Amino acid sequence: MKIEPVINGVVARTAHPAGCEQAIKNQIEIVSRSKPISDGPKRVLILGGSSGFGLAARIALTFGGANADTIAVSFERGPSEKGVGSAGWYNNIYFKQQAQTKGATAVNIIGDAFSDSVRQQVLDAIETQFNGQVDLIIYSLATGVRPKPDSDELWRSSIKPIGESLTGASIRLEDDVWQETELPAASEQEIIDTQKVMGGEDWQSWIDLLINKDAIAPNCQSIAFSYIGPECTHPIYHQGTLGRAKVDLHQTSHAINLKLAPFKGGAYACVCKALVTKASVFIPTFAPYVLALYKTMKAQGLHETCIEQMQRLFNSKLYPHPIVDGERLIRMDDWELKHSVQQNVSALLPQLTADNFSQLGDYHGFKTEFLQLNGFAIDGVDYQQDYTLEQLQALRP
């Protein structure tokens, strides 16, 4: 079979193995010619390491100067009669192949990061591969659900405004259609549940577990990713349910920071730039802002994708010493929030409509990045190649 892109709404149903391999190589190439990370960590645990920021962090830390060994946890689907599997599945496979070529350890643990069995697999891997301790823990899970401990029930997140309803446009990647959307305000329960899923509680429980198991190395750091954004995005993000969860994440970073202090370590929330990822395309009414932002940042020579954000985080903002703002946040959104960028975005954004968004905004860049996340639209890849299920299943993460 040939593998073609299949998109339902904003969800990719297929992924291209050779494209994912090439995407990993391209990212390695980017970090290899960037300013190297100095005094970086050697043993890194990444929760959510198969795509987006987590994968980019893994590539940057192994190939961008720190030569780190990594253990990455992810929730991905392998090939079966039902489909070819998810991009993250192939990213895990090809990252590991590249890391091994360089002589670096790369362990892939695939399963639910909230489960006891995955926690135990991580502890075992730290014991056997890392001599019992980690130097950096990256919390980069993006999910819509979290199981309630010791129960069959789930907390489910809702991406909604708080207080008032909101109207805006979302873009269906499946057929490039701009859709006016109305979002009701979240209920109190939805606010609480979203915080349970995307706030800091689970991050803290991982750190508690690692402290209890003596797995924290001297100077160990931990980071998690957040978003704040300019005022025009606040109703759907910063002042909405997701923003509430991120405030909780920021507060948790202070609590974890105290817990890591006896190890001379620290914990930080890193506020990143708005980018196209598997998770972010789910945020309703957010796409028009991203189109205006991409158009502007590319024109001003400031555009970064996940890989450039992560390399800059590690080579300039976390190592050799963390650089934080007045609220102890690491600001990777500094270029996004530049006056020149936001001035242009606020002029462009109100002009975007269903008829002109692909000309006035950078819809081409947005869609191409989305396809590339899934291994499509990548130069140098033979998309005519035939695969059999057996061939795909022989690739092991």
If binding is defined by CB under 6 A, does position 20 make contact with ligand NAI? no
229 is in an annotated binding site: no
Residues 41-60 close enough to bind ligand NAI by CB under 6 A: 48-54
Among 114, 237, 294, 335, the residue binding ligand NAI under the rule CB under 6 A is: 114
- Among 315, 302, 252, 233, smallest CA distance to 36 is for 315
- Residues 113, 223, 267, 313: which binds ligand NAI (CB under 6 A)? 113
Determine whether 237 is an active site residue.
yes
List the structure tokens of 300.
Answer: 């001003």
Name which of 360, 364, 211, 352 is nearest 288 in CA terms: 352
Among 98, 204, 226, 342, binds ligand NAI (CB under 6 A): 226
Residue 18 is a binding residue for ligand NAI (CB under 6 A) = no
Shortest Cβ distance from residue 360 to ligand NAI (Å)? 21
* Residue 178: both structure tokens together: 């701009």
> Is 112 annotated in some ligand binding site?
yes
Q: Considering 90, 94, 237, 289, which one is annotated as catalytic?
A: 237
Residue 309 Cβ, how far from ligand NAI at the closest point, in Å? 9
Q: Whole-angstrom Cα distance, residue 357 to residue 355?
A: 6
**What is the per-residue binding string for ligand NAI in 132-171, x denoting contact by CB under 6 A?**
--------xxxx----------------------------
Q: Is 371 in the site for ligand NAI (CB under 6 A)?
A: no
Is 227 annotated for ligand binding?
Answer: yes
Q: Is 27 in the site for ligand NAI (CB under 6 A)?
A: no
Residue 76 in marked binding region: yes
357 annotated as belonging to a binding site for a ligand: no
Shortest distance (Å) from residue 83 CB to ligand NAI: 16
3-state SS of the chain is: CCCCCCEECCEECCCCHHHHHHHHHHHHHHHHCCCCCCCCCCEEEEECCCCHHHHHHHHHHHHCCCCCEEEEEECCCCCECCECCCHHHHHHHHHHHHHHHCCCCEEEEECCCCCHHHHHHHHHHHHHHCCCCEEEEEECCCCCEEECCCCCCEEECCCCCCCCCEEEEEEECCCCEEEEEEECCCCHHHHHHHHHHHCCHHHHHHHHHHHHCCCEEEEEEEEEEECCCCHHHCCCCCCCHHHHHHHHHHHHHHHHHHHHHHHCCEEEEEECCCCCCCCHHHCCCCHHHHHHHHHHHHHCCCCCCHHHHHHHHHHHHHCCCCCCCCCCCEECCCCCCCHHHHHHHHHHHHHCCCCCHHHHCCHHHHHHHHHHHCCCCCCCCCCCCCCCHHHHHHCCC
The answer on whether 118 is annotated among ligand-binding residues is: no
Which residues ranging from 245 to 274 are in contact with ligand NAI (CB under 6 A)? 272, 274
Which residue among 63, 178, 227, 237 contacts ligand NAI (CB under 6 A)? 227
Query: Quick one: 73 or 318, whose CB is closer to ligand NAI?
Result: 73
Nearer to ligand NAI, 289 or 319 (CB): 289
Does residue 291 interact with ligand NAI by CB under 6 A?
Answer: no
Between 43 and 246, name the residue whose CB sits nearer to ligand NAI: 246
Which residues ranging from 58 to 97 are in contact with ligand NAI (CB under 6 A)?
73-76, 88
By CB under 6 A, how many residues form the interface with ligand NAI?
A: 29
Q: Which residues are annotated as a binding site for NAD(+)?
A: 48-53, 75-76, 112-113, 141-142, 246, 275-277
Q: Name the residues annotated as catalytic.
A: 237
Q: Which residues are annotated as a binding site for substrate?
A: 227
Binding residues (CB under 6 A) for ligand NAI: these are: 48-54, 73-76, 88, 112-114, 140-143, 225-227, 272, 274-275, 277-280
